[in-house]
Structure 1
Amino acid sequence: MELLTIGEFAARSRLSPKALRLYDRLGLLSPARVDAATGYRRYRADQVEQARRIALLRQLDMPLARIADLVALPGPRASDELVAYWADVEERHAFRRAMAEHLRDLLSGRRTNMYEIRTADVPEQAVLTERKSLLTDELPRWIPAALDRLETAAGGCGGVAGAPFVVYHAEVSLDSDGPAEACVPVTDLRAAEAYAAANRRTTSLRVEPAQRLAYVRVAKAQVAHPQIMSAFEAVEEWIAREGLTVAGPCREIYFADWDTASASDEVCDIAFPVSR
């Protein structure tokens, strides 16, 4: 069996000796033999292909821990894992590109206020909720899943009593994890209390007070980040101009069927509770 020194292996694999020592410590690419007396590493020639694959994956900025998981998989599953990783990369890149365009418009002063701000009085309502600390890129998956779970639970609590919504108790961004709270109004308070008590690890029940909301209605295409930030900012600016006070956390209220709506259909209200 041909064994290569770390220098020879580094030259063939296109990885530096420093990188090879790191990969050894992480269990990602271990030498075939280590001399007990000198600590010299020896690699098999047939390890070169795996080392080159690791080098290529690192050029995609794949984290080392994820590379370790990927190279341990059989070929088809490793391919699927790579596809999933790259889809995540492209999603993050699309978000950053949209954010850059949003910031460019803000900094250049080209942003115009295209929103009509309205107000509405909302009565007291009991809501089943799920609460989670999460970042912006997790919202598109978590929101529909959480609302679907809560709407299913509401079926045993007299049914859904109003439009579902998500409350943001603190900023949700790439660096700040909220938390966010998915909410579904229910009809039968006692049944909802029993359900929440039986499922207290995942679900809560609370009563939203009667309140006035200042809101703007947005189309499906405007819901994505960072476009939706303009809607939140427009409502906040209107509240300040009107001499009102923000009386609670902001929210997104979903009044239309997301799956059947077109990009131009209005689907969501961006709202803040307000008071004089």
Structure 2
Amino acid sequence: MNENDPTLTIGVFARRSRLSVKALRLYESRGVLRPDAVDTSTGYRRYRESQLRDARLVRLLRRLDMPMVEVAAILSAPRHARAELVRQHALAAAERARHQSNLAELLQSVMSGGKDTYPMYTISTREVPEQTVLTEQRNVTADALPGFIADAGGRQLAALTTAGGPFGSSMVIYHGDVTEDSDGPVEVCSPIPAGVAETVSLPSRVDPSHREAFTRITKAQVRFPDVLSAYDAVESWIARNGERVAGPPREVYFADLMQADDGAEVADIAFPIASK
């Protein structure tokens, strides 16, 4: 036994770290904080006294509402890198709080007087011709959506560049709801001339001609859940104006998100429509 770093029973370790035995077992199962040794015959767990520092850190990180996966990442990181990871979490939390505040203000505006109106959005209509598009579709929830869009869009852009493109605005088409609990499916599309589509290795299809109602949004408004209000605004306009939704909604990107400022217009939220 290392006298400078003695082992502690789980009960003693729980008391000194001010974590419950139940919490310690949870952190062990999630790979966040594992005991130093587990007796295979009795199941008794023992921790090193030196682990108290990490245990107390876990307690503080969880008080920040930090997800387990982030806590595990911080504990597995070198000690000199941990402060930066906490800083990044704090910045992300502040950004989420800002978005929630903006959304709360929007909801107050929408529900004011009991009328579901969206004065901040201008709705227009247009005719969209038939076009051939590169396509990639997947079932994804909201947390995985940005990564899928970036990956699929990157693959399509590489193919288009080789073929002499891009040839128009890319689209993200939602064939089902995408939230923390619903997974679409979602389709990423990029227009390409029909003859050129035959020369690339990615799948393609024909997107039929249609009329659509749409509203233009900024980069800041693209973020989830803020973007949902733009969808609601277009749907509300469709219902009020004697139209009906005739196809899955889509985001049409006509600007580079990476290069745009938050206030720059970058996309249209559009619904194919038909008269009732």
Query: What TM-score comes out, normalization by structure 2 length?
Result: 0.79
Maintained 8 Å contact 1:117/1:215: yes
Q: Which residue of 2 aligns with 1:272?
A: 271
Select 2:62's aligned residue among 58, 61, 68. 58
Mark the runs of 5 or more structure 2 residues left unpaired by the alignment: none
Q: Which residue of 1 aligns with 2:75?
A: 71
Select 2:198's aligned residue among 193, 197, 211. 193
Once the two structures are TM-superposed, the CA of residue 158 in structure 1 deviates from its matched residue by 4.5
Listed one character per residue, the Cα deviations across residues 231-264 of structure 1 (whole Å, up to 9, x for unaligned) are 3223222322332222111112122344454444
Distance 2:257 2:26 in 1: 47
Q: How many residues align?
A: 268
Q: Which residue of 2 aligns with 1:30?
A: 35
SS of residue paired to 1:195 = coil
Listed one character per residue, the Cα deviations across residues 27-49 of structure 1 (whole Å, up to 9, x for unaligned) are 52314574956x65544332322
Q: Which residue of 1 aligns with 2:135?
A: 129
Distance 1:69 1:6 in 2: 23
Select 2:172's aligned residue among 161, 166, 170. 166
Once the two structures are TM-superposed, the CA of residue 169 in structure 1 deviates from its matched residue by 1.1
Listed one character per residue, the Cα deviations across residues 104-124 of structure 1 (whole Å, up to 9, x for unaligned) are 333334754343332222211
Query: Could you say if the C-alpha distance between residues 159 and 43 of structure 1 is closer, same or farther in structure 2, counting changes exceeding 3 Å?
Result: closer
Select 1:155's aligned residue among 153, 161, 174. 161
Counterpart of 2:35 in structure 1: which amino acid?
Answer: S
Q: Which residue of 1 aligns with 2:48?
A: 44
Distance 1:92 1:223 in 2: 14
Listed one character per residue, the Cα deviations across residues 124-155 of structure 1 (whole Å, up to 9, x for unaligned) are 11101222333335445543553343122112
SS of residue paired to 2:80 = helix
Query: Could you say if the C-alpha distance between residues 123 and 54 of structure 1 is closer, same or farther in structure 2, counting changes exceeding 3 Å?
Result: same
Once the two structures are TM-superposed, the CA of residue 208 in structure 1 deviates from its matched residue by 0.8
The sequence identity of aligned pairs, in percent, is 45
Distance 1:215 1:166 in 2: 14
Maintained 8 Å contact 1:128/1:154: no
Query: Could you say if the C-alpha distance between residues 73 and 114 of structure 1 is closer, same or farther in structure 2, counting changes exceeding 3 Å?
Result: closer
Do structure 1's residue 4 and structure 2's residue 13 form an aligned pair? no
Maintained 8 Å contact 1:171/1:178: yes
Q: Which residue of 2 aligns with 1:250?
A: 249
Q: Which residue of 1 aligns with 2:184?
A: 178
Mark the runs of 5 or more structure 1 residues left unpaired by the alignment: 197-202
Query: Could you say if the C-alpha distance between residues 20 and 121 of structure 1 is closer, same or farther in structure 2, counting changes exceeding 3 Å?
Result: closer
Once the two structures are overlaid, the 10-residue window that deviates more, 46-55 or 100-109, is: 100-109
Distance 2:199 2:87 in 1: 44
Once the two structures are TM-superposed, the CA of residue 84 in structure 1 deviates from its matched residue by 4.5
Maintained 8 Å contact 1:126/1:186: yes
Note the aligned Cα RMSD (angstroms): 3.2
Q: Which residue of 2 aligns with 1:238?
A: 237
Do structure 1's residue 13 and structure 2's residue 12 form an aligned pair? no
Distance 1:103 1:251 in 2: 22
Q: Which residue of 2 aligns with 1:120?
A: 126
SS of residue paired to 2:166 = coil
Maintained 8 Å contact 2:257/2:266: yes
Maintained 8 Å contact 1:102/1:226: no
SS of residue paired to 1:67 = helix
Do structure 1's residue 97 and structure 2's residue 101 form an aligned pair? yes
Distance 1:63 1:185 in 2: 39
Maintained 8 Å contact 2:125/2:214: yes
Listed one character per residue, the Cα deviations across residues 144-181 of structure 1 (whole Å, up to 9, x for unaligned) are 55334312211233523222221111122233222222
Once the two structures are overlaid, the 10-residue window that deviates more, 56-65 or 168-177, is: 56-65
Counterpart of 2:253 in structure 1: which amino acid?
Answer: Y
Once the two structures are TM-superposed, the CA of residue 83 in structure 1 deviates from its matched residue by 4.3
